[in-house]
Chain A
Amino acid sequence: MRKQRSTAAGLKAKALGLGIGGIILFFLIWEAAPRLGLVSDRYLPPASEVLARLGEYLTEAAFWNDVADTMMSWALGLAIATVAAIVVGLIIGSSRFLRRATHTTIEFLRPIPSVALIPLAVLIFGTSIESTLLLVVYASFWQVLLQLLYGIADVDAVANDTAKSYGLGRLARVRYVIWPTALPYLMTGLRLAAAVALILAITAELIIGTPGLGKQIALTQAGGAISSMYALVLATGMIGVLINLAARIIEKRVLSWHPSVRGEVVL
């Protein structure tokens, strides 16, 4: 038993080592390509230069202001979309009639790419933060709503009928039968929405010019500050990784009682 565990840990350490090796290898190639003249360093500065610039950014207040702006529209948009989707989802999901009647409308509205709303956002809100919010909310709303509706459709009919015959009212059934069944689906929806919300927040800043990291990327590109642009791109990637990690940890915490997560821990 003990030996088995140590080999498993050994394999994990080896995988981690290889993974770190992969990242180092990537940066080495990136460093070498412009230095050897494979790519012009006017278009792709060496990795060391970009990383140095990123380090500089981390000490600048203006950079953190941009990060705060981006994260602010991300968090606010995600929160609005989630609350709205939960309310709408529970209302639609609790009635067969509403589920059927809204099906085509939802299927029609959902695939509309939220970037199609960019001109509308500019027209109504200009370059203020509301423009970003409109895009973020629209994109993440459907992710959460759809997963929630799948979850509600997955509710065990027997469990629901049992609850009914024990005299649980509509609200009590939502709380004790529908909510626990739909929660894993909701968390999946939230995880997807968190990633989509970041994409749309950056997009709005990039295209419309609302304040945030995306706007800075457009500015540095237009101004020819190429290593700054690469540094900012790396920064957005790191924010993306952090959001993915946080979403996974929260999902595990919230669903710690659920068999699928309990099973993972035992393994």
Chain B
Amino acid sequence: MSPLKRIAYFVGLPILLIIVWWALSFGSTNFFVPKPIELAQTLWSTWIGDRFFDDVLPSLGRLAVGLFFAIALGIVLGLLIGSTRWLRNLLEPLLEFFRAIPPPVLVPLLMLLIGINDGMKVAVIISGAIWPVLLNTVEGVRAVDSVLNDSCRSYGIAGFARIRYFVLPAVTPQIMAGVRQSLSIGLILMVISEMFASSSGLGFTIVQFQRNFAIPEMWSGIVVLGLIGLGLALIFQFVERRVLHWYHGLKEITHDS
């Protein structure tokens, strides 16, 4: 495929949609639907400047801290629970139950236990985003290749080396699948915790715009959230490609033969 054609495929539909949107909103005075140019201007004037440092950055910071702890804790606990059979049997039904609780209901609960502060918002993100990573790690450790496992044992590879060179690589595909779910849950919880109880942050600001009927500003906030979601997805794709390049290569080979 020529590069020109590839670019056409890449931007064709988005440009078409924007033109349709522009044409439809051209003569309209509908209060709820902003015009494309107006929205772009609002996006710039609303979010670049003080608000970026006061609302967007703190939100992103809490999200990053929450996700980091959720993923790290999920992997460590998952390895621990997954490799000890009695512990796994003891905790598995309980963990399934915790995973099934819709994470947003933890917002009012943690608000009571911790109070309204940054710690509560980070705790909400951790308590919601940890389950996919944790349970996928447990599941992955249980399903490691038994031949490789026995080989490791007969070569006397044990303890930390076993985890570092055998278990962790074997579980990484599962962990990454869990991380992908955790990212979107974390983002949802970041917004909700700010909408429910906060006086700053992205979620709070967007609801504030809506209550004041600042419609273009509200739309621009939705766009900012969308861009953050897109950014997270891109970062994830980059990291996954890095971490799992051996795995994708392996799958291609077995697929071809």
Contact = CB atoms under 8 A, between A and B. Distances in A.
A244 B233 contact: no
Interface stretch (B11-19, B149-157, B163-171, B239-247): B11-19
B108 A119 contact: no
A151 to B, nearest CB: 16
Interface size class of A (residues with CB under 8 A): 35 or more
B196 A23 contact: no
A25 B93 CA distance: 12
A122 B96 contact: no
A105 B17 contact: yes
Given A105-B14, A108-B14, A202 B93 contact: no
Contacts, number: 166
A26 interface: yes
Contacts of A115: 188, 191-192, 195, 203, 225
A221 B109 CA distance: 8
Interface stretch (B41-49, B70-78, B205-213): B205-213
Nearest to A221: B108
B104 A202 contact: yes
Given A116-B226, A241-B96, A44 B113 contact: yes
A243 B161 CA distance: 40
Nearest to A110: B233
A111 B184 contact: yes
B138 to A, nearest CB: 13
Chain B contact surface mostly: helix
A252 to B, nearest CB: 17
A107 B233 contact: yes
Contact of B104 (A22, A117, A203): A203
Contact of A111 (B12, B203, B233): B233
Contact of B226 (A15, A111, A124, A233): A111
Contacts of A109: 226
A14 B100 CA distance: 24
B212 to A, nearest CB: 11
A110 to B, nearest CB: 8
Contact of B101 (A25, A110, A237): A237
B250 interface: no
Contacts of A195: 100
Interface in B1-52: 9-14, 17, 32
Interface in B181-203: 184-185, 187-188, 191-192, 195-196, 203
Given A112-B225, A241-B96, A217 B105 contact: yes
B94 interface: yes
Interface string B229-243: 110110000000000
Contacts of A100: 9
Contacts of B102: 198-199, 202-203, 236, 240
Contact of B221 (A25, A119, A230): A119
B97 interface: yes
26 contacts: A14-B89, A15-B89, A18-B86, A18-B89, A19-B90, A26-B94, A102-B13, A103-B9, A108-B230, A115-B188, A116-B191, A116-B206, A116-B222, A119-B209, A119-B218, A123-B32, A123-B215, A199-B104, A202-B104, A206-B107, A207-B104, A218-B196, A221-B112, A229-B112, A240-B100, A241-B96
Given A112-B226, A118-B206, 17 more contacts: A14-B89, A19-B94, A23-B97, A43-B113, A102-B13, A198-B102, A203-B188, A203-B192, A214-B104, A217-B108, A218-B196, A221-B109, A221-B111, A236-B102, A237-B97, A237-B100, A239-B100
A-B residue pairs, 3 tightest by C-beta: A240-B100, A119-B210, A111-B229
